[in-house]
Chains A and B, each alone.
Chain A
Amino acid sequence: MGHTQSSSHLYMLLQYVPGGELFSYLRREVRISNDAAKFYASEIVLAFQHLHSFNIVYRDLKPENLLVTRQGHLKITDFGFAKVVDDKTWTLCGTPEYLAPELIQSKGHNKSVDWWAVGILIYEMLAGYVAVNVVVPFETWKVTSGRHATQISSFL
């Protein structure tokens, strides 16, 4: 909405989104219905399609970064990791539970990591939470961490 600076600080003025984080709602409800998850997922899918049409990769999808508007719709916040990526980028960043394998392996990544994160988000909304051990089964983690594949492997 606006930005300015003083002799020692930069200021960014953002729109106030009064409904709080989707994270708070999910933790309060524990799990949400299939229809509710579909509602939120559909808004994110459209937002990502839009960002990706400008070759912007968002890279930090999680309920903490989704704000609920006064009417109950979602807004994505915190574009700290968002980046225009025409081909691939290599910086390892994000939130552990939501990291796609190619990101962890530092193979170079792009929009693909956002779609992976959508999968994790839908899982988190329906299951009630997502823990790192849910992500473990994928080969990357198996090989590198030596931990046991758990929940999601049996689930999938």
Chain B
Amino acid sequence: MTRRRSESTRRSWLGALTSPGEPGTHSLTHLLHCAAGFEADSTAAPAALLRYFDVKAKDLIRKLLASDVSQRLGCLRNGGEDVKNHKWFGRLNWDAVYACKLPPPFVPEVRSADDTRNFDKYPDSTNKPLAPLTPEQRELFAEFDRL
């Protein structure tokens, strides 16, 4: 199975601030523009596959993807407890989850403390020398070392 390299460019982004009540049309246009790039790269999950989705998983996904927030699981009176109590998780021992006691689906191969084999290769950042900050600018970051 080929790995779609371009997909790893799926980026987080921060849109322009929109004030409350003002429709974010500009941002939305931008969003859809971004989205178009992803769509070109996507291939549809075969309908046959979707039929084999676990019915309980499907039910949970449907409840989490409620476009009306007042209906969305996790956003109701019991908050995240409703998600934990969903039948997809069944009788999952949440204390064991919390304590990391459940067996993971896979254990990564790691040969040494500095083994980076599980990460993609990225070019080193170009260490262009930057002009030192002025004392006024540095003052803005004075708290940084004391956090």
Contacts and interface: CB of A to CB of B under 8 A. Distances in A.
A139 to B, nearest CB: 6
Main secondary structure, interface of B, reads loop
A49 B57 contact: no
Given A19-B118, A64-B8, A129 B38 contact: no
B118 A18 contact: yes
Name the residue among A25, A45, A100 with the largest chain B CB count within 10 angstroms.
A45
Interface residues of B, number: 86
B61 A122 contact: yes
A39 interface: yes
A105 B24 contact: yes
Contact of B45 (A95, A119, A139, A151): A151
Given A72-B108, A90-B20, A78 B32 contact: no
A153 B84 CA distance: 25
Interface residues of A, number: 93
A8 B28 contact: no
Given A34-B54, A140-B67, A156-B58, A60 B104 contact: no
B105 A39 contact: yes
Given A4-B145, A30-B1, A106-B22, A131 B108 contact: no
A154 B50 contact: yes
A156 B12 contact: no
B130 A10 contact: no
Interface of A: 3-5, 7-10, 16, 18-21, 23-25, 27-28, 30-43, 45-46, 48-49, 52, 60, 62, 64, 68, 70-73, 78, 80-81, 88, 90-97, 99-102, 104-106, 108, 111-112, 114-116, 118-120, 122-123, 126-129, 131-134, 138-140, 144-145, 150-152, 154-156
17 contacts: A3-B144, A7-B138, A18-B108, A27-B3, A28-B3, A39-B104, A45-B80, A49-B79, A72-B108, A91-B18, A92-B14, A96-B34, A106-B28, A115-B73, A119-B61, A132-B38, A155-B53
Interface of B: 1, 3-4, 7-8, 10-20, 22-24, 27-28, 31-32, 34-35, 38-39, 41-45, 47, 49-50, 53-54, 57-58, 60-65, 67, 69, 72-75, 79-80, 83-84, 88-89, 92, 94, 97-98, 100, 102, 104-108, 110, 113-116, 118-120, 129-133, 138, 141, 144-145, 147
